[in-house]
Amino acid sequence: MNASSKSESFLLNNGISRFFEDIGNNVILLYQTLRYFPLAPTQLKRIVEQCYLMGLSTIPIVAILSFFIGAVLALQTGFVLSQLGAVEFIGAIVGLSMCREMAPVMVAFLLAGRVGSAVTAELASMKVYSEVDALKVMNVPAEKILVMPRLVAALLIMPILNIIATTIGWMGGMLVSKFINFIQLAPHIYWRNLKDFTVFPDIIDGTIKAEVFGFAVVLIACNQGLVTTGGPREIGSSVTKSVVTSMVFILLTDFFITRAQL
């Protein structure tokens, strides 16, 4: 084995061990935090604060993106369906795509970029500047006051964000269907078709996905923040790693959840 392949092998082994170490750290943090879930009512103030930060700050961007995703979805499918003379099916396509797939994945991505990065930066900064050590010395577990309220807030806020994203996406699809000249589908036909194909279990499936993604994004963000050591440069690296890991997790899990739901 020459020096180059030895070095490649070392990097691969190092990467693999780091991957499993990350998973292990996340599982340990989850286990340690689950113990404090029954204490959620005592942390109501922090949970409400996190709901505000996660929800209110994310709603505008969720609204804008979901509107245009719904609109583009209607535009793309409308172009093909108009040639087949089946434009009325735009409602079904936009309806199902938004609620089962696009809304939960998009909201989770936004949560990772908007909230996950902020959570990692905040906790990493607390870790690097010994604030987490100070909590430990005071016998106040970081899992109880930093992680649990964020996870509970994610569970509470994700269904709401998901419903908002789904509804606005449907609206975007409806407006495009009505006003684009090669589609020109009447809104009542769009909604009727959407309601015919999109049933309540579809909404539930989408909400389950959103809950799983949101919980994982916040857990990954908290873990990445709390394992940070070093200085300002490492805080930046942790934020990047948190967002990238969350996105990879979302896409991988999405496949398996979708497979299980179908």
Partner 1 sequence: MSKSLTSEQPTVSNKDINVKVDNVSIQFGAQSVVKDVSFEVKPGEVFAIMGASGAGKSVLLRSIIGLIKPTSGKIWIAGKDAAIPRTHQSLRSTIVFQAGALFNSMDVFDNLAFYPREHHLHPESKIREKVLEVLKMLSLQDAAYKIPAELSGGMRKRVAIARALVMEPQLLLYDEPTSELDPIMAATISEIIATLRKETMATSIVVTHDRDLANSIADRIALIHKGRLLAVQTPEELNNNPDPIVQDFLNPDINVDNPRYKNL
Told to check if 130 binds partner 1 by CB under 8 A, we report yes
Binding partner 1 by CB under 8 A: which of 37, 52, 129, 179?
129
Told to check if 125 binds partner 1 by CB under 8 A, we report yes
Binding partner 1 by CB under 8 A: which of 136, 188, 192, 195?
136
The C-alpha atoms of residue 156 and residue 174 are separated, in whole angstroms, by 29
Task: Tell me 170's DSSP state.
Answer: H
Nearer to partner 1, 45 or 259 (CB): 45
H or E element, residue 227: none
Q: Which of residues 143-162 bind partner 1 (CB under 8 A)?
A: 145
The C-alpha atoms of residue 250 and residue 218 are separated, in whole angstroms, by 12
Cα distances (Å, whole numbers) of residue 51 to 23, 74, 154? 26, 32, 7
Minimal distance, residue 82 CB to partner 1, in Å: 54
Q: Which residues contact 136 (CB under 8 A, 6 or more apart)?
A: 142
Q: Which two tokens stand for residue 241?
A: 């790693």
The C-alpha atoms of residue 196 and residue 24 are separated, in whole angstroms, by 45
The C-alpha atoms of residue 126 and residue 121 are separated, in whole angstroms, by 9
The C-alpha atoms of residue 153 and residue 251 are separated, in whole angstroms, by 22
Binding partner 1 by CB under 8 A: which of 7, 17, 34, 133?
133
Nearer to partner 1, 138 or 260 (CB): 138
Told to check if 199 binds partner 1 by CB under 8 A, we report no
Minimal distance, residue 33 CB to partner 1, in Å: 17
Told to check if 137 binds partner 1 by CB under 8 A, we report yes
Q: Which of residues 48-67 bind partner 1 (CB under 8 A)?
A: none
Nearer to partner 1, 8 or 133 (CB): 133
Told to check if 131 binds partner 1 by CB under 8 A, we report yes
Binding mask 95-114 for partner 1 (x = CB under 8 A): --------------------
Nearer to partner 1, 187 or 231 (CB): 231
Interior CA angle at 247 toward 245 and 251, to 5°?
120
Report helix, strand or coil for 130.
coil
Nearer to partner 1, 49 or 254 (CB): 49
Asked if 165 contacts 55 with a C-beta cutoff of 8 angstroms, the reply is no
Rule CB under 8 A: which residues touch partner 1?
A: 125-126, 129-131, 133-134, 136-140, 145
